[in-house]
Amino acid sequence: MRILLIAQAVVAVLLSVSILLQNREAGLGSAFGGDFGGYYTKRGMEKFLLYATAVLALAFLVLAVVNVRLSLV
């Protein structure tokens, strides 16, 4: 039970970091001086952060449900 709480805390921190690393307006490339403007596809690190955020959010949700279920037993 305690290991699940620790795992949920670690996932929460990683999820927060992955969300904060994303830049909504211009993408990660503009942080280093490249502003392409307009529409473009996500590549490289941006794509990885997008998928990592989705996986971490799902893991957080599953851990939260499991923790609640185990606390009711």
Taking only the tens place, the pLDDT of each residue in 31-59 is 555 555 556 677 888 899 999 999 999 99
The candidate with the shortest Cα–Cα distance to 49, out of 25, 26, 30, 23, is 23
| Mean pLDDT computed over 16-44 | 70
14, 55 Cβ separation under 8 angstroms: no
| Structural domain of 7 | 2-28+37-72
Give the pTM: 0.74
Coil, helix or strand at residue 55: helix
Number of domains in the chain: 1
More confident residue, 26 or 64: 64
Q: What percent of the chain has pLDDT over 70?
A: 75
The residues, any chain, with a CB within 8 Å of residue 63's CB and separated by 6 or more, are 4, 7, 8, 11
The residues, any chain, with a CB within 8 Å of residue 62's CB and separated by 6 or more, are none
Q: What percent of the chain has pLDDT over 90?
A: 62
Asked whether the predicted pLDDT for residue 22 surpasses 70, the reply is yes
